[in-house]
Protein backbone atom coordinates (compact mmCIF):
# COMPACT_ATOMS: atom_id res chain seq x y z
CA UNK A 1 0.00 0.00 0.00
CA UNK A 2 1.46 3.33 -1.06
CA UNK A 3 1.21 6.55 0.91
CA UNK A 4 -1.29 8.08 -1.51
CA UNK A 5 -3.85 5.27 -1.09
CA UNK A 6 -6.67 6.00 1.29
CA UNK A 7 -7.98 3.23 3.48
CA UNK A 8 -11.44 1.91 2.70
CA UNK A 9 -12.60 3.39 5.96
CA UNK A 10 -11.40 6.85 4.98
CA UNK A 11 -12.82 6.52 1.48
CA UNK A 12 -16.20 5.70 3.02
CA UNK A 13 -16.10 8.79 5.21
CA UNK A 14 -15.01 10.87 2.22
CA UNK A 15 -17.89 9.49 0.20
CA UNK A 16 -20.41 10.16 2.97
CA UNK A 17 -19.22 13.75 3.31
CA UNK A 18 -19.21 14.34 -0.43
CA UNK A 19 -22.79 13.15 -0.79
CA UNK A 20 -23.96 15.23 2.16
CA UNK A 21 -22.32 18.34 0.75
CA UNK A 22 -23.27 17.98 -2.90
CA UNK A 23 -26.71 16.42 -2.64
CA UNK A 24 -27.93 16.69 0.96
CA UNK A 25 -28.74 14.21 3.66
CA UNK A 26 -31.59 12.53 1.85
CA UNK A 27 -29.21 11.50 -0.90
CA UNK A 28 -26.51 10.24 1.47
CA UNK A 29 -27.89 6.71 1.76
CA UNK A 30 -25.82 3.64 2.56
CA UNK A 31 -26.20 2.43 -1.02
CA UNK A 32 -25.04 5.76 -2.39
CA UNK A 33 -22.12 6.03 0.03
CA UNK A 34 -20.92 2.52 -0.83
CA UNK A 35 -21.20 3.24 -4.54
CA UNK A 36 -19.38 6.57 -4.23
CA UNK A 37 -16.58 4.87 -2.27
CA UNK A 38 -16.49 2.17 -4.92
CA UNK A 39 -17.21 -0.62 -2.51
CA UNK A 40 -20.31 -2.59 -1.47
CA UNK A 41 -22.89 -2.05 1.22
CA UNK A 42 -21.49 -5.11 2.99
CA UNK A 43 -18.05 -3.54 2.93
CA UNK A 44 -19.42 -0.34 4.36
CA UNK A 45 -21.25 -2.12 7.15
CA UNK A 46 -18.11 -4.01 8.14
CA UNK A 47 -16.38 -0.71 8.94
CA UNK A 48 -19.46 1.05 10.31
CA UNK A 49 -22.14 -1.18 11.80
CA UNK A 50 -24.88 1.39 11.26
CA UNK A 51 -25.50 4.76 9.70
CA UNK A 52 -25.18 6.24 13.15
CA UNK A 53 -21.63 4.93 13.44
CA UNK A 54 -20.87 6.51 10.08
CA UNK A 55 -21.92 9.85 11.54
CA UNK A 56 -19.81 9.27 14.66
CA UNK A 57 -16.79 8.41 12.52
CA UNK A 58 -17.26 11.55 10.49
CA UNK A 59 -17.54 13.78 13.57
CA UNK A 60 -14.45 12.17 15.15
CA UNK A 61 -12.44 12.99 12.07
CA UNK A 62 -13.86 16.52 12.04
CA UNK A 63 -12.82 17.14 15.63
CA UNK A 64 -9.19 16.23 14.97
CA UNK A 65 -9.15 18.33 11.79
CA UNK A 66 -10.69 21.20 13.76
CA UNK A 67 -8.09 21.16 16.49
CA UNK A 68 -5.36 21.37 13.86
CA UNK A 69 -7.12 24.28 12.14
CA UNK A 70 -7.44 26.35 15.32
CA UNK A 71 -3.71 25.84 15.92
CA UNK A 72 -2.88 27.01 12.38
CA UNK A 73 -5.16 30.03 12.81
CA UNK A 74 -3.39 31.08 15.99
CA UNK A 75 0.04 31.19 14.38
CA UNK A 76 -0.93 32.22 10.84
CA UNK A 77 1.53 34.62 9.17
CA UNK A 78 -1.25 36.91 7.93
CA UNK A 79 -2.83 36.99 11.40
CA UNK A 80 -5.84 35.12 12.76
CA UNK A 81 -8.50 37.45 11.30
CA UNK A 82 -7.30 37.18 7.74
CA UNK A 83 -6.77 33.45 8.12
CA UNK A 84 -10.27 33.06 9.48
CA UNK A 85 -11.89 35.03 6.65
CA UNK A 86 -9.96 33.22 3.96
CA UNK A 87 -10.80 29.80 5.34
CA UNK A 88 -14.46 30.68 5.88
CA UNK A 89 -14.88 30.53 2.14
CA UNK A 90 -15.22 26.99 0.91
CA UNK A 91 -11.94 26.20 -0.80
CA UNK A 92 -12.86 22.59 -1.35
CA UNK A 93 -10.43 21.33 1.26
CA UNK A 94 -11.06 18.14 3.22
CA UNK A 95 -11.74 20.24 6.30
CA UNK A 96 -14.27 22.42 4.48
CA UNK A 97 -16.07 19.37 3.25
CA UNK A 98 -16.16 17.81 6.72
CA UNK A 99 -17.47 21.05 8.18
CA UNK A 100 -20.27 21.45 5.67
CA UNK A 101 -21.18 17.79 5.99
CA UNK A 102 -21.46 18.12 9.77
CA UNK A 103 -23.72 21.12 9.24
CA UNK A 104 -26.07 19.00 7.17
CA UNK A 105 -26.27 16.43 9.93
CA UNK A 106 -26.73 19.11 12.58
CA UNK A 107 -29.81 20.30 10.74
CA UNK A 108 -31.48 16.96 11.28
CA UNK A 109 -31.36 18.07 14.93
CA UNK A 110 -28.51 15.70 15.75
CA UNK A 111 -27.12 16.85 19.08
CA UNK A 112 -23.69 15.25 18.53
CA UNK A 113 -23.13 17.18 15.31
CA UNK A 114 -24.42 20.42 16.83
CA UNK A 115 -22.08 20.00 19.81
CA UNK A 116 -19.08 19.27 17.57
CA UNK A 117 -19.75 22.40 15.51
CA UNK A 118 -20.26 24.53 18.62
CA UNK A 119 -16.89 23.33 19.96
CA UNK A 120 -15.18 24.25 16.72
CA UNK A 121 -16.74 27.70 16.68
CA UNK A 122 -15.73 28.28 20.28
CA UNK A 123 -12.15 27.45 19.36
CA UNK A 124 -12.13 30.02 16.57
CA UNK A 125 -13.84 32.62 18.71
CA UNK A 126 -11.29 32.20 21.47
CA UNK A 127 -8.46 32.90 19.05
CA UNK A 128 -10.26 35.95 17.59
CA UNK A 129 -11.13 37.26 21.05
CA UNK A 130 -7.56 36.95 22.34
CA UNK A 131 -6.05 38.50 19.25
CA UNK A 132 -8.45 41.45 19.02
CA UNK A 133 -9.14 41.95 22.72
CA UNK A 134 -12.60 43.20 21.71
CA UNK A 135 -15.67 41.09 22.30
CA UNK A 136 -18.01 42.95 19.95
CA UNK A 137 -15.49 42.94 17.13
CA UNK A 138 -14.68 39.27 17.58
CA UNK A 139 -18.36 38.31 17.54
CA UNK A 140 -19.07 40.42 14.47
CA UNK A 141 -16.14 38.96 12.56
CA UNK A 142 -17.27 35.50 13.49
CA UNK A 143 -20.74 36.31 12.14
CA UNK A 144 -19.20 37.51 8.89
CA UNK A 145 -17.32 34.21 8.66
CA UNK A 146 -20.56 32.34 9.30
CA UNK A 147 -22.23 34.36 6.55
CA UNK A 148 -19.46 33.58 4.07
CA UNK A 149 -19.67 29.93 4.98
CA UNK A 150 -23.47 29.85 4.75
CA UNK A 151 -23.55 31.56 1.36
CA UNK A 152 -21.01 29.09 0.04
CA UNK A 153 -22.93 26.08 1.21
CA UNK A 154 -26.24 27.27 -0.20
CA UNK A 155 -25.05 28.29 -3.64
CA UNK A 156 -25.58 31.98 -2.81
CA UNK A 157 -21.92 32.98 -2.70
CA UNK A 158 -20.90 36.36 -4.07
CA UNK A 159 -17.39 36.33 -5.56
CA UNK A 160 -16.33 39.73 -4.29
CA UNK A 161 -17.69 39.22 -0.78
CA UNK A 162 -14.34 38.72 1.00
CA UNK A 163 -12.86 41.73 -0.79
CA UNK A 164 -15.68 43.94 0.52
CA UNK A 165 -15.26 42.57 4.03
CA UNK A 166 -11.53 43.41 3.96
CA UNK A 167 -12.42 46.97 2.97
CA UNK A 168 -14.68 47.33 6.00
CA UNK A 169 -12.19 45.69 8.35
CA UNK A 170 -9.53 48.17 7.23
CA UNK A 171 -11.91 50.98 8.16
CA UNK A 172 -12.13 49.40 11.60
CA UNK A 173 -8.31 49.19 11.80
CA UNK A 174 -8.49 45.42 12.10
CA UNK A 175 -6.62 44.79 8.87
CA UNK A 176 -3.72 46.87 7.54
Partner DNA sequence: GTCTATACTTCGATAGAC
Partner DNA sequence: GTCTATCGAAGTATAGAC
Residues lying near DNA in the complex (CB under 7 A) are found at 8, 27, 29-32, 34, 39-43, 45-47, 49-52
Which residues between 120 and 139 bind a copy of itself (CB under 8 A)?
121, 135-137, 139
The site map against a copy of itself for 69-108 (x = CB under 8 A) is ----------------------------------xx-xxx
Taking the CB of residue 138, how many other CB atoms lie within 10 A of it?
Answer: 22
- Choice between 42 and 176, CB closer to DNA: 42
- Choice between 110 and 119, CB closer to DNA: 110
The length of the chain is 176
Catalog residues that contact a copy of itself under the rule CB under 8 A.
22-27, 103-104, 106-109, 114, 117-118, 121, 135-137, 139-140, 142-151, 153-156, 158, 160-161, 163-165, 167-168, 171-172
Amino acid sequence: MTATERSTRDRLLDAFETLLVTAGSRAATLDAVAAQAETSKGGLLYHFHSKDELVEGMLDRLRSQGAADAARMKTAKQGPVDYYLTTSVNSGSDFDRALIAAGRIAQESDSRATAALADLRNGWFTVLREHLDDEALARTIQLIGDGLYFDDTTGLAEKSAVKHVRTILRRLDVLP
